[in-house]
Amino acid sequence: MKKNTIHILIAILIISNVILFVKNGNLQRQIENTNAEMNQLSGSIKNDMDTIYSNVDEMLKQKASLIESATTEMGEINVDDVTVPLIFTLTPKEVSESTVVSLDFDGELFPMEKNGTTFLATVNRDIFGDALPKIVIQEEGVKKITQDDRIGIRSIKESVFQHQCQALEANRATVTILLGEKEILLQTPRK
């Protein structure tokens, strides 16, 4: 009888240990799942905060800007002098009868034509350059100078040949384009 009692106690202890090991394993999985969820939530909160900061920053820039709206359109390439006409349209936030707006390209001023509250200018630019004008607003003897990313083109060549440049990036290749009698060589940048 005593021997049976010891065997029963040992069996109960073994079963208890197995149950404890199973419960311990379940608790560890729950802890790991909870940690993974917390990390995911933390990443999500960080992304949401970054988005909020970005939106607030953009709103502050928009509020501080002198320009309400601005666009740039590209005309047809002139193959003779390898230039492209760029049509700049912008609307200052404040416009009066005496408001005059010009675009400053490296010290060369291009006056804009006033049409109501909107100003328009067409400027021919070399396709191998950029178009990053400063905007000069003059009103009653006060001159304000600003820049607006909405009308800037960092690389006219890439904008003109956007499709070819995307193919270059995808294929890591060099493309030669004939423009009239001139050859234009497009290459992927070396990294």
Q: What does the pLDDT look like over 163-174, one tens digit per residue? A: 455 554 555 555
Give the SS3 label for residue 150.
Answer: helix
Q: What does the pLDDT look like over 116-150, one tens digit per residue? A: 999 999 999 988 888 899 999 998 888 998 888 88
Work out the percent of the chain whose per-residue pLDDT is above 90: 40
Alpha helix stretches (DSSP H) within the chain: 2-64, 156-160, 162-171
Question: For position 151, what pLDDT does the model report?
Answer: 84
Mean pLDDT, the chain, as a whole number? 83
Q: How far apart are CA 189 and CA 150, in angstroms?
A: 25
Question: For position 26, what pLDDT does the model report?
Answer: 92
What's the CATH fold of domain 67-153? Immunoglobulin-like (2.60.40)
pTM over 0.75: no
Q: How far apart are CA 152 and CA 157, in angstroms?
A: 13
Q: What does the pLDDT look like over 74-107, one tens digit per residue? A: 888 887 888 889 999 999 988 888 899 999 998 9
Q: How far apart are CA 70 and CA 60, in angstroms?
A: 17
